[in-house]
């Protein structure tokens, strides 16, 4: 049965709020969360992580930032610098932790989802083919900006 506009809107709000809570629970760095905005139809990414979302809501969670930002988050979480393959592996795991936390939070609101394994995007990557894209900018003190995208099918 297709979802009504009100139900879709409630799902989107729940996803955004769950993403924010998950981020706050996982990343131990002071940050400011910007206002969510609709994004353009295709997305250009230089480095990031994509996690597929299935179940009641279908889409993707994408984390996009420069590699040094992912490295700084990893260092804050694990107390050591991460580089090369360790940085790429950590970036995927960060996406996994955020999406897993999101799934756990939203199930309490009656929304059942499952997540896919992380896909790392390194280099000029264009994403398209989704119904709606929301971007949530997150600024970490003295580190930079991470963009969280919810790409909804």
Asked if 72 and 143 count as a contact pair (C-beta separation under 8 A), the reply is yes
Q: Give the CATH number of domain 5-152; options: 1.10.10.350, 3.20.20.70, 3.20.20.10, 3.40.1550.10.
A: 3.40.1550.10
Residues 33-89 pLDDT 10s: 999 998 877 889 999 999 999 988 888 999 999 999 999 999 999 999 898 999 999
Q: Which stretches within the chain are classed as H helix?
A: 5-26, 67-78, 84-107
List Cβ neighbours of 35 (8 Å cut-off, separation of 6 or more): none
DSSP state of 142: T
Q: Are strands 132-140 and 37-38 parallel, antiparallel or unpaired?
A: antiparallel
Count CB atoms within 10 A of the CB of residue 150: 23
Exposed e or buried b per residue across 75-108, where buried means at least 16 C-beta atoms within 10 angstroms of its C-beta: bebeeeebeeeebbebbbebbbbbbebbbebbee
Checking if the pLDDT of 1 tops 50, the result is no
Residues 85-139 pLDDT 10s: 999 999 999 999 999 999 988 888 888 888 999 999 999 999 988 888 999 999 9
Count CB atoms within 10 A of the CB of residue 152: 18
Count CB atoms within 10 A of the CB of residue 65: 24
């Amino acid at each position: 049965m297709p979802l009504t506009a009100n139900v879709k809107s409630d799902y989107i709000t729940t996803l955004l709020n769950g993403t924010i809570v998950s981020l706050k629970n996982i990343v131990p760095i002071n940050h400011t969360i910007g206002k969510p905005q609709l994004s353009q139809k295709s997305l250009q990414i230089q480095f990031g992580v994509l996690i597929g979302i299935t179940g009641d809501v279908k889409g993707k969670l994408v984390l996009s930032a420069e590699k040094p930002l992912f490295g700084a988050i990893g260092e804050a979480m694990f107390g050591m610098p991460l580089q090369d393959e360790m940085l790429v592996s950590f970036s995927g795991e960060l996406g996994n932790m955020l999406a897993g936390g999101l799934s756990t939070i939203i199930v309490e609101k009656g929304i059942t989802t499952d997540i896919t394994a992380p896909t790392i995007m390194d280099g000029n990557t264009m994403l398209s083919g989704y119904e709606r894209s929301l971007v949530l900018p997150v600024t970490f003190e003295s580190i930079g900006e991470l963009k969280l995208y919810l790409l909804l099918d």
